[in-house]
């Protein structure tokens, strides 16, 4: 699940415990753990509902003041089912935070990252490669995703999808605007440069 900033903060501090979503099929399951960008939450319940029956208590728990606000904010095709997802915050660190903070990589770590990035590049079959994206983020921290996508000649959402894979590996960190390289990502790039691995950052697409 993806959470906008309002939900990240509210779910993290417990002031928001209910989220409404339009989905073709449920994208969360009871007992599942999800990253908000501010921490971890657990889904307590996931139920399909009639939006006309949203209770006042759930309106407040979702961070709104009226049911009309909830309905107006619902995104997606109006014909899709509406789901009520109840969350509770978890007092546990996001595993990616500790991973991203690692400043030392041994041979096994490096080999695992290389293998994963090679598989991702083979799957995408188009530039920018994972390492090009990583170098570009290192050179252009806090650059808007749209600018990076335009330079790479790919759609903004596609660029963001690729960066999410790098974040899963602990190589990048998302910011309010753009991204930055993590200590783990910087250590990986130092290794690649020391071994003279060819390639540069994202270059503007040919016009």
Q: Who's near 194: CB < 8 A, 6+ residues apart?
A: none
Distance in angstroms (rounded) separating the CA atoms of residues 5 and 42: 18
Confirm whether 207 is domain-assigned: no
* pLDDT surpasses 80 at 92: no
Lowest mean pLDDT across 47-51, 104-108, 180-184, 194-198: 194-198
* pLDDT surpasses 60 at 204: no
Residues 173 and 187 placed together within one structural domain of the fold: yes
Confirm whether 27 is domain-assigned: yes
The total domain count for the chain is: 2
Q: What is the domain extent for residue 76?
A: 5-92
Distance in angstroms (rounded) separating the CA atoms of residues 46 and 20: 10
Residues 60 and 108 placed together within one structural domain of the fold: no
* Final residue before a domain boundary, out of 66, 92, 118: 92
Residues 117 and 38 placed together within one structural domain of the fold: no
Question: What is the DSSP code (8-state) at residue 81?
Answer: -
Report the chain's terminal Cα–Cα distance, integer Å: 36
Confirm whether 206 is domain-assigned: no
* Final residue before a domain boundary, out of 71, 92, 113: 92
Secondary structure of 43-82 in HEC code, one letter for each residue: EEEEEEECHHHCCHHHHHHCCCCCHHHHHHHCCCCCCCCE
Phi, psi of 43 (to 5 degrees): -75, 120
Residues 111 and 174 placed together within one structural domain of the fold: yes
Confirm whether 204 is domain-assigned: no
* pLDDT surpasses 50 at 205: no
Residue in the structure block whose two tokens are 């500790």: 98
Residues 60 and 129 placed together within one structural domain of the fold: no
Residue 20, classed as helix, strand or coil, is strand
pLDDT for 123-173, tens place per residue? 887 888 999 999 999 999 999 999 998 888 888 888 888 998 998 899 998
Name the β-bridge partners of 42.
33, 88
The pLDDT assigned to 197 comes to 52
Residues 60 and 135 placed together within one structural domain of the fold: no
Residues 113 and 129 placed together within one structural domain of the fold: yes
Confirm whether 202 is domain-assigned: no
The pLDDT assigned to 207 comes to 40
Name the β-bridge partners of 152.
none
* pLDDT surpasses 50 at 10: yes
CATH number at residue 132: 1.10.10.10
* Final residue before a domain boundary, out of 70, 92, 114: 92
Q: Is the dihedral of CA 125, 158, 132, 99 positive or negative?
A: negative
The H or E element that residue 61 is part of is: helix 56-61
Query: Does this model's pTM top 0.85?
Result: no
Residues 82 and 120 placed together within one structural domain of the fold: no
- How does residue 193 score in pLDDT terms, banded at 50, 70 and 90? confident
Lowest mean pLDDT across 17-26, 83-92, 123-132: 123-132
Q: Who's near 79: CB < 8 A, 6+ residues apart?
A: none
């Amino acid at each position: 699940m993806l959470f906008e900033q309002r939900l990240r903060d509210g779910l993290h501090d417990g002031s928001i415990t209910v989220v409404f979503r339009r989905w073709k099929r449920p994208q969360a399951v009871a007992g599942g753990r999800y990253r908000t960008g501010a921490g971890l939450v657990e889904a307590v319940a996931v139920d399909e509902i009639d939006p006309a029956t949203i209770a006042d208590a759930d309106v407040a728990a979702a961070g709104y003041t009226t049911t009309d606000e909830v309905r107006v904010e619902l995104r997606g095709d109006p014909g899709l089912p509406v789901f009520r997802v109840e969350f509770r915050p978890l007092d546990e660190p996001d595993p990616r935070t500790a991973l991203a903070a690692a400043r030392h990589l041994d041979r096994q770590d490096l080999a695992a990252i290389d293998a994963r990035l090679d598989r991702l590049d083979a799957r995408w079959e188009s530039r920018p490669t994972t390492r090009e994206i990583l170098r570009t983020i290192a050179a252009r921290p806090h650059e808007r995703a749209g600018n990076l996508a335009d330079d790479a000649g790919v759609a903004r959402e596609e660029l963001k999808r690729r960066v999410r894979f790098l974040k899963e590996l602990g190589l990048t960190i998302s910011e309010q605007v753009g991204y930055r390289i993590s200590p783990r990502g910087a250590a990986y790039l130092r290794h690649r440069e020391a071994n003279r691995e060819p390639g540069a950052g994202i270059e503007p697409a040919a016009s």
